[in-house]
Structure 1
Amino acid sequence: MAFAKPSRLAALALALSACAGTALAGELEKPQADKPLGVVELFTSQGCSSCPPADEFFAELAGKQDIVALAYHVNYWDYLGWQDTLSSKENTDRQYDYMRAFGSRSVYTPQAVINGRSHVNGASRKEVDGTLVRLDRTGEGMRVGVTVSHTSDRVMIDAGDAGNGPSDAHVVIVYFEPPQTIKIGQGENSGRRLTYWNAVSDIQIAGMWHGKAQRYELPMTEISKKAGCAVLLQSVGKDGMPGPILGAAFIRKPDRL
């Protein structure tokens, strides 16, 4: 797939809400495990002939408990004849923001961004797996614990202490869709039926983290109306571009909802 020309970048998504932890109301559920191996953000498109192998590999990553896997469908290949049903301008903007952060001259699909630090061909199992292991071994994996718990009416996100590490990051909430099988009607993948996992539908900022342990609260009503979501503790450069992801976790809804 040819490279797309850079376009005007957009700012990060609007803030959701955040607050320091106080006394909890209701029974507290047991927290989730807080340090996955890493975060894989796949930039893909239903209209990209090079993407199906990456989407199939990504489905495996999405099934692993120790990886936070998120798929951002972009819209710049829609002109080829098929409008990606899961794409959004916000997803495309995030990829262009990474392009600037990495000092690249263009964006491409399939692109896998690992831990917000490195990018590789999203269809290459060797490159994705190798980068996850390398970053973990060099201390560039998930350095800050992020624990998620909940009561009947709220979700608590506890970000740990960085010690002597980085001191500022955004608490980013990423919402995604359930698995969907799409029949492609036109374009480069015309006639194919492809299944997409963890397709991102919205990105919001819940607050700022300043290197010390802190709690952020979200209303359960906001979480329960979404198919799935994850929290990323992501540093931000002085120019506002996304930086390394320091911690991450899935926000899982209670079974009773």
Structure 2
Amino acid sequence: MGFRNLRLVTAVFLFALPYGAAAGDHVKRPRAVVELFTSQGCNSCPPADEHLSALARSGDVVALSYHVDYWDYLGWRDTLATPDNTARQQEYSRTFGNRSVYTPQAVVNGRHQLNGAKRRKLDAAIERMEGTVEGMTVDVDVTYSGDSVIIETGASDRKISEAQIVLVYFDPATEVEIKRGDNKGRSFVYLNSVSSFHTAGMWHGRKTRFELPMSEIVKKASGGCAVLVQEMKKGGLPGPILGAAIITVPQS
């Protein structure tokens, strides 16, 4: 199959204990946020999936795996894919001015895109941005009080025109045996596979406190939930991620 491309569908405008930096560890500024767009039907994706899992296990990177559905017609329907995941990748493509989407694509801090299977380049991008204005510049602290999750952000050191608090829900480690398609006969364990996401509120660059019911998060996240402080570009497109944290979902 090789490195896959698909022409951008311009009609779609939707934005529509886990691995990673955990709230209990008081990691207010992870090294980076890595969003990987992947597919179980893509034979170029396994190296990217493995490295995303390694980043998730590291505990200092918020690593999220968005399974997309546009390769399902080739013989294997991705069991973790959602249309919203595909839509988010398409919106990033518009942000970056791309003419197509592809797998595996990694987006670092909402700022830089690259082939997610290029491990050295991905690690270099994380290292290059860390501690700079392109890295995590806003503290995000998550604490728990009774049945509430409290999210507190620091202030930005520059003017923010439009930004959102985005909650990204993901599944726990999920083993999948692929029975058809290019990866037929192979089995993978996927970490932090995104099941849904939504905007929890607007952020205006000031210290802010949000309180959410844990019960609502538990309903949507079987593995965990990432909190992203993300600037928005013209037309509501996703832009730079300024801060992030992980909400740990209690296990029954």
Same fold (TM over 0.5): yes
Match of 2:231 in 1: 235
One-letter amino acid of the counterpart of residue 6, structure 2 = A
Q: So what's the TM-score if we normalise by structure 2?
A: 0.91
3-state SS of 1:47 partner: coil
1:9 is the counterpart of 2:15: no
Q: Tell me, yes or no, if structure 1 residue 184 matches structure 2 residue 178.
A: yes
Which residue of the other structure, out of 26, 32, 45, is the alignment partner of 1:32? Answer: 26
| Aligned counterpart, 2:242 | 246
Aligned length: 241
CA offset digits 1:52-111 (Å, max 9, x no partner)? 111111110110111000000000000110000000000000000000000011111001
User: TM-score, normalized by length of structure 1?
Assistant: 0.90
Show structure 2 runs of 5+ residues with no match: 17-22
1:136 Cα deviation after fit: 1.8
Tell me the percent identity. 51
1:102 aligns to what? 96
- Aligned-pair CA distance for 1:150: 1.2
CA distance in 2, matches of 1:218, 1:178: 21
Aligned residue type for 2:15: L
Query: Alpha carbon RMSD of aligned pairs, Å?
Result: 1.6
Distance 2:24 2:237 in 1: 34
Q: Aligned to 1:63, what secondary structure does the other structure show?
A: helix
CA offsets, 1:154-182, max 9 Å, x none?
Answer: 10111111122535310000000011111
What 5-or-longer segments of structure 1 have no aligned partner? 14-28
Deviation at 1:33, TM superposition (A): 2.1
Give, as a single letter, the amino acid of the residue that structure 2 aligns with 1:9.
V
Which of 139, 145, 158 in structure 1 is aligned with 2:139? 145
Q: 1:178 to 1:2 in 2, by over 3 A?
A: same
Contact 2:136 2:241 in 1 (8 A): yes
CA–CA separation in structure 2 for the residues paired with 1:48 and 1:150? 39
What is the CA-CA distance between 1:9 and the residue it aligns to? 1.9
**Hey, what does 1:89 align to over in structure 2?**
83
Higher strand residue share: 2
Mapped partners of 1:90, 1:252: distance in 2: 23
Output the CA distance in 1 between the equivalents of 2:211 and 2:41.
38
